[in-house]
Amino acid sequence: MTDRTPLRRVLLKLSGEAFSDPEVKGGIDPRIVSQVAREIGELQASDGTEIGVVVGGGNIFRGNSPAAAGMDRSSADHMGMLATVINALALQDALEKEGVETRVQTAVAMQELAEPYIRRRAVRHLEKGRVVIFAAGLGVPYFTTDTTAAQRALEIGADAILKGTQVDGVYDRDPKQDAGAIRYEVIDFLAVLNQGLKVMDATAISLCMDNQLPIVVFELLREGNIGRVVKGESVGTLVRAAPVTDA
Ligand code: UDP
């Protein structure tokens, strides 16, 4: 995707913050989860878009947060991965209430709760119209769910990563701190890395850059936004490889 085009299969990245009230910060707000589930359900019902979702866990626990101070980092990251499973189950419940068929696949074996992550099976679920929720990140410490999103998107052959956030795209400065901040319509991976823009962590951006996997950063809770991005409308910011120019 060098520019906006309709998307057939997408990987939606939902950070932990997507599960909580922005005013409250932390925990799970069932109204917010229901809203996200409704949007996903409507999108799937309207045009059969294949949707994989990677869920974060930052609303509950992060391995590098102050709450983990003094802990062994790997143990703390295990706790963070478990937090993503809690969010995955909340989203699954909300999606099923919307009548959407789902499967949770986890990178850490938890057979009573969810399927193990198996790439071919995940793709088959998508083809059958099920939303696949990927939980427990990559199953290894020192990684993030942003990197998981890049990894899973590549594995399932997604057209793009849809990164839903609380702001409506990528800005040159923090728009919450500086009213003069300017939003990018399109930006390339290298500029994101060089300018240290907060899109996803550097490992995730590098993986997308190396494999030319576009990312659309958009405001998650604006009604109909996920659908607009999938239709190829100019919503949020498109992060992609720099176009090749003739020398
Ligand atoms: N995590 C991990 N390995 C992974 C993915 C996640 O160890 O492959 C842990 C890590 O501690 C991280 C936490 O899970 O802080 C929650 O994920 P993340 O911070 O990416 O959630 P988000 O910021 O998207 O809410």
Residues 6+ apart with CB under 8 A from 164: 12, 13, 14, 15, 18, 36, 218, 219, 220, 221, 225, 226
pLDDT at 46: 82
Nearest CA to ligand 1 atom 22: 56
How far apart are alpha carbons 96 and 83 in whole angstroms? Answer: 20
In terms of pTM, does the model score above 0.85?
A: yes
How far apart are alpha carbons 20 and 15 in whole angstroms? Answer: 10
Residues flanking ligand 1, CB < 6 Å = 15-16, 56-58, 62-64, 77, 80-81, 83-84, 137-138, 140-141, 143-146, 148
CA of 56 to the centre of ligand 1 (A): 6
pLDDT at 65: 94
pLDDT at 21: 84
Written as tens digits, the pLDDT of the chain (247 aa) is 558 899 999 999 999 998 998 788 789 999 999 999 999 999 888 888 999 999 999 999 999 999 999 999 999 999 999 999 999 999 999 999 999 999 999 999 999 999 999 999 999 999 999 999 999 999 999 999 999 999 999 999 999 999 999 899 999 998 888 989 999 999 999 999 999 998 999 999 999 999 999 999 999 999 999 999 999 999 999 999 988 776 5
> Which atom of ligand 1 is the closest one to the Cα of 14?
24
CA of 33 to the centre of ligand 1 (A): 19
pLDDT at 246: 62
Measured CA to CA in angstroms, residue 107 lies from 53, 56, 87, 110, 133 at distances of: 13, 13, 14, 9, 11
- Which residue is listed with tokens 């878009």? 49
In a 10 Å sphere around its CB, with 0-12 CB exposed, 13-18 middle and 19+ buried, how is residue 193 labelled? Answer: middle
Q: Sketch the domain layout of the chain as residue ranges.
A: 10-240
Superfamily of domain 10-240: Acetylglutamate kinase-like (3.40.1160.10)
Residues 6+ apart with CB under 8 A from 71: none
